[in-house]
Chain A
């Protein structure tokens, strides 16, 4: 069964450093998403991406964040200058033709 994959599973970085989180969505899906979950809290929407552009973004998704689909399979989230409060689990999701969103296993980002 096709699934969303994410790398790395855990990323540790120092405050102020840039990180890139990578995702491979399910191959025939057209809508892609990033969500985050701070430890013990609910899952929060960051951004949706369709047809090579952002379709919607939350107030969390400020100028420090960017997304890209550099090729036909990868979907990336870049945080330019990480802050302590960026520490969270980041989930990529992709949407099927039946409008169901499937989540990857997540990347745990720890900013020290």
Chain B
């Protein structure tokens, strides 16, 4: 019940295209859903996060879509650039208290020039 399932494992997108990564969760107590970007040899960097009171959040080229009834959320990267090539992790937690993050398995994104 604590799992967050992420797909696909890897994704190749042409420059300028839209990258879409999906996550699903089981625990209905989760109410905070961040996305992290990780470059090789670096720590995860917070990209964007959403809480379930909204169905979509946009920051620049990055958008989170959230479907509470389906217990799914996704990251869309518009106009994907080679510099976006990285591993992306979705995560989920309970907003209050310790807020331990439960991470998905990660998606290795490659943007071809």
Contact = CB atoms under 8 A, between A and B. Distances in A.
Interface of A: 4, 31, 33, 35, 41-45, 48, 50, 55-56, 58, 91, 95, 99-106
A24 B10 CA distance: 33
B54 to A, nearest CB: 16
The B interface, classified by DSSP as helix, strand, loop or mixed, is loop
Nearest to A46: B100
Contact of B104 (A35, A42, A99, A103): A42
A48 B99 contact: yes
Interface residues of B, number: 23
B43 interface: yes
Interface centre among A35, A42, A56 (most CB of B within 10 A): A42
A31 B98 contact: yes
Nearest to A50: B98
B46 A102 contact: yes
A42 B106 contact: yes
B95 A56 contact: no
Interface of B: 32, 34, 36, 41-46, 49, 89, 91, 95, 97-106
B75 to A, nearest CB: 16
Contacts of B46: 100-103
A35 to B, nearest CB: 7
Given A42-B105, A100-B49, A105 B100 contact: no
A42 B103 contact: yes
A81 to B, nearest CB: 25
